[in-house]
Amino acid sequence: MIRFLQTPGPVKKVVLSSILLVFCGAMVITLIPGGLGTNFGFGGGPAAGVVATVGDQDVTRQEVLRAAQNMLRQQFPRGNAMGSQLLPFFTSRAADQLITEKALISEAKRVGFLATDEDVLDELQHGQYAPIFFPGGKYIGKEAAENLLTQNDVTVPEFEEGMKDNILITKLRNLVAAAASVSDREIRQEFEKRNAKVKFQYAVIREADLRKGIHPAESELKAFYERNKPTYNNSIPEKRKIAYVLLDSSKLAAETQVTPEDLRSYYDQHRDEYRVPEQVNVRHILVKTPPAGADGKVDQKAMDDAKAKAEGILKQLKAGAKFEDLAKRNSDDPGSAKNGGSLGWIGRGHTVPEFEKLAFSLPKGGTSELVKSSYGFHIIHVDDKQDAHVKSLDEVKAQIEPLIKQQKATRAAEAQANALLTQARNNGLEQAAGAKGLQMITADFFSRNESLPGIGSSPQFADAVFGEGEKSPPDMVQVQSGFVIFKLLAVKPPATPTFEEIHARVEQEFQNERANQLLRQKTQELSDRAKAEHDLKKAAKELGATLKTSDFVLPSGQVPDVGSMTGPAAVAFTLKPGEISGPINSGTTGAVLQVLEKQEPTADEFAQKKDEIRDSLVQQKQGELFGLFVNNLRQQMEKSGKIKINEEEMKGLSRGASEQGE
pLDDT in tens, 134-185: 777 777 777 777 878 877 777 878 888 888 999 999 999 999 988 888 998 9
Predicted confidence (pLDDT) at residue 222 exceeds the cutoff of 50: yes
* C-alpha dihedral, 143 to 148 to 152 to 156, nearest 10°: -50
pLDDT band at 44; cut points 50, 70, 90: very low
pLDDT band at 125; cut points 50, 70, 90: confident
**Measured distance CA(360)–CA(382) in Å, rounded:** 9
Cα distances from 412 to residues 246, 261, 409, 423, 433, in angstroms, run 13, 18, 5, 17, 17
**Is this structure's pTM higher than 0.75?**
no
pLDDT of residue 656: 54
Predicted confidence (pLDDT) at residue 555 exceeds the cutoff of 60: yes
pLDDT band at 2; cut points 50, 70, 90: very low
| DSSP per-residue letters across 351-418 | S-HHHHHHHHHSPTT-B---EE-SSEEEEEEEEEEE--EE--HHHHHHHHHHHHHHHHHHHHHHHHHH
Q: How far apart are the first and last CA of the chain?
A: 38
Predicted confidence (pLDDT) at residue 659 exceeds the cutoff of 80: no
Predicted confidence (pLDDT) at residue 64 exceeds the cutoff of 80: yes
* Structural contact between residues 382 and 345, judged by C-beta atoms closer than 8 angstroms: no
pLDDT in tens, 322-365: 999 999 999 998 888 999 999 999 888 778 888 989 999 999 99
Integer-rounded Cα radius of gyration of the chain: 33
| DSSP per-residue letters across 599-626 | EPPPHHHHHHHHHHHHHHHHHHHHHHHH
* Structural contact between residues 248 and 556, judged by C-beta atoms closer than 8 angstroms: no
Residues linked to residue 206 through DSSP beta bridges, in sequence order: 589
Predicted confidence (pLDDT) at residue 538 exceeds the cutoff of 90: yes
Predicted confidence (pLDDT) at residue 3 exceeds the cutoff of 50: no
Burial zone of 536 (CB within 10 Å; 0-12 exposed, 13-18 middle, 19+ buried): buried
pLDDT band at 418; cut points 50, 70, 90: very high
Beta strands in 249-278 (DSSP E): 275-276
Instruction: List the single range of 68-82, 430-444, 449-463, 535-549 with lowest mean pLDDT.
Output: 68-82
**Measured distance CA(137)–CA(157) in Å, rounded:** 24
More confident residue, 436 or 14: 436
> DSSP assignment, residue 472?
P
* Residue whose C-alpha is closest to residue 32's, from 116, 129, 121: 121
**Measured distance CA(401)–CA(618) in Å, rounded:** 53
> DSSP assignment, residue 274?
G
pLDDT band at 78; cut points 50, 70, 90: low
State percent of the chain over pLDDT 70. 89
* Structural contact between residues 194 and 126, judged by C-beta atoms closer than 8 angstroms: no
| Beta-carbon count within 10 A of 279 CB | 21
**Measured distance CA(421)–CA(416) in Å, rounded:** 9
**Measured distance CA(86)–CA(95) in Å, rounded:** 15
Burial 179-208 (b: 16+ CB within 10 A, else e): ebebeeeebeebbeeebebbbbbbbbbbbe
* Residue whose C-alpha is closest to residue 515's, from 589, 463, 450, 420: 589
* Residue whose C-alpha is closest to residue 52's, from 649, 639, 657: 649
pLDDT in tens, 479-526: 988 999 999 999 999 999 999 999 999 999 999 999 999 999 999 999
| Beta-carbon count within 10 A of 591 CB | 27
Instruction: List the single range of 77-86, 139-148, 558-567, 585-594 with lowest mean pLDDT.
Output: 77-86
Predicted confidence (pLDDT) at residue 410 exceeds the cutoff of 50: yes
> DSSP assignment, residue 288?
E
What are the φ and ψ backbone dihedral angles of 30, each rounded to 5 degrees?
-60, -20
pLDDT of residue 41: 29
* SS3 call for 31: coil
Residues written for the chain: 662
What number is the average pLDDT over the span 387-395? 90
* Residue whose C-alpha is closest to residue 203's, from 596, 597, 594: 594
pLDDT of residue 84: 60
pLDDT of residue 654: 65
**Measured distance CA(578)–CA(641) in Å, rounded:** 60
pLDDT of residue 80: 52
In the chain the domains, ranked by start, together with CATH numbers, are 2-179+640-661 (1.10.4030), 197-234+501-599 (no CATH), 239-265+394-492 (3.10.50), 278-387 (3.10.50.40)
* Structural contact between residues 384 and 280, judged by C-beta atoms closer than 8 angstroms: yes
What mean pLDDT is reported for the chain? 85
- Helix, strand, coil distribution of the chain in percent, nearest 5: 55, 15, 30
